[in-house]
């Protein structure tokens, strides 16, 4: 367990809830917020992993709470538990939990489709609805939806995932409009190829070079997403609303065709 000394930082006094915070990008976001002084809630289906991370980050200010974001009763219970356990309701919500099914469109089952939509889209709606009311009441809040480059472009064997992630941007814009003039902003982050457990197979495959396909020439790391989330969650971003910050090393902005790029 790390030091229990309260950290001073730009999120001191803020309560931040990160869904899917036990792994990958979510874990990096939890780490960043904790280092910047927030009280952090690692809200995850995998409570063992959430508790392990909470212990590592400093269990007095970092809480692990089990939730299934596809179950609205579980999400309501999370919101109530946060308010009780953290000295007040959440100021910051990062809708990060997500899963991806990779298989051809014609092989997607009803269950595959339902799973992609319920975790990657409906869960974000349930959490937004459950946490936004207290933010509006208090006149300040930050909601950040983790979308994807698949929100913008078709990706092979990911039709349901692409649909859900595109929907996350619609939810972002619609929620930002409905929460207007309240001090609560709603934005999205669209990550590119981030080296997390979700991508372990591609990262370890020597025939796959997702890092080399970017304009930066490397895989993204969880901390790249965490730094973007920390910006959008801060007071510095008070004029940024209803929009999407793409953190993909430039992948969607510039696509080279064969022959256009020559080794130098």
Ligand X SMILES: NC(=O)c1ccc[n+]([C@@H]2O[C@H](COP(=O)([O-])OP(=O)(O)OC[C@H]3O[C@@H](n4cnc5c(N)ncnc54)[C@H](O)[C@@H]3O)[C@@H](O)[C@H]2O)c1
The site for ligand X (CB under 6 A) is made up of: 19-20, 22-26, 44-46, 67-70, 96-100, 119, 123, 146, 148, 191, 193-194, 196-199
Shortest spacing between CB 263 and ligand X, in angstroms = 26
Shortest spacing between CB 7 and ligand X, in angstroms = 23
Shortest spacing between CB 220 and ligand X, in angstroms = 7
How many CB atoms are closer than 10 A to CB 149?
18
Cα separation, 190 vs 169, whole angstroms = 9
CA distances from 142 to 172, 206, 248, 254 (A): 12, 39, 22, 30
- Nearer to ligand X by Cβ, of 59 and 198: the residue is 198
Please give the positions annotated as active site: 161
- Nearer to ligand X by Cβ, of 7 and 117: the residue is 117
Shortest spacing between CB 153 and ligand X, in angstroms = 12
- Nearer to ligand X by Cβ, of 135 and 149: the residue is 149
- Nearer to ligand X by Cβ, of 3 and 207: the residue is 207
CA distances from 71 to 46, 127, 147, 221 (A): 15, 10, 20, 30
């Amino acid at each position: 367990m790390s030091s229990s000394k309260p950290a001073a930082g730009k999120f001191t006094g803020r309560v931040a809830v990160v869904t899917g915070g036990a792994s990958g990008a979510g874990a990096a976001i939890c780490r960043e917020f904790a280092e910047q002084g927030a009280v952090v809630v690692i809200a995850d289906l995998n409570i063992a992993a959430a508790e392990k991370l909470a212990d590592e980050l400093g269990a007095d200010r970092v809480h692990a709470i089990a939730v299934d974001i596809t179950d609205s009763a579980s999400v309501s219970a999370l919101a109530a538990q946060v308010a009780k356990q953290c000295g007040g309701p959440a100021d910051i919500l990062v809708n990060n939990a997500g899963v991806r099914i990779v298989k051809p469109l014609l092989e997607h089952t009803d269950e595959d489709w339902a799973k992609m939509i319920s975790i990657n889209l409906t869960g974000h709606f349930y959490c937004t609805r459950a946490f936004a009311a207290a933010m509006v009441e208090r006149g300040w809040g930050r909601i950040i939806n983790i979308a994807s480059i698949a929100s913008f472009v078709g990706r092979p064997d990911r039709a349901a995932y692409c649909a859900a992630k595109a929907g996350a941007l619609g939810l972002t814009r619609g929620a930002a409009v409905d929460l207007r003039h309240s001090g609560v902003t709603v934005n999205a982050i669209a990550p590119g190829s981030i080296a997390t457990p979700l991508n372990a197979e591609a990262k370890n495959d020597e025939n796959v070079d997702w890092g080399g396909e970017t304009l930066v020439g490397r895989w993204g790391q969880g901390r790249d997403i965490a730094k973007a989330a920390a910006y959008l969650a801060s007071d510095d971003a008070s004029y940024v609303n209803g929009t999407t910050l793409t953190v993909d090393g430039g992948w969607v902005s510039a696509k080279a065709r064969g022959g256009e790029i020559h080794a130098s």
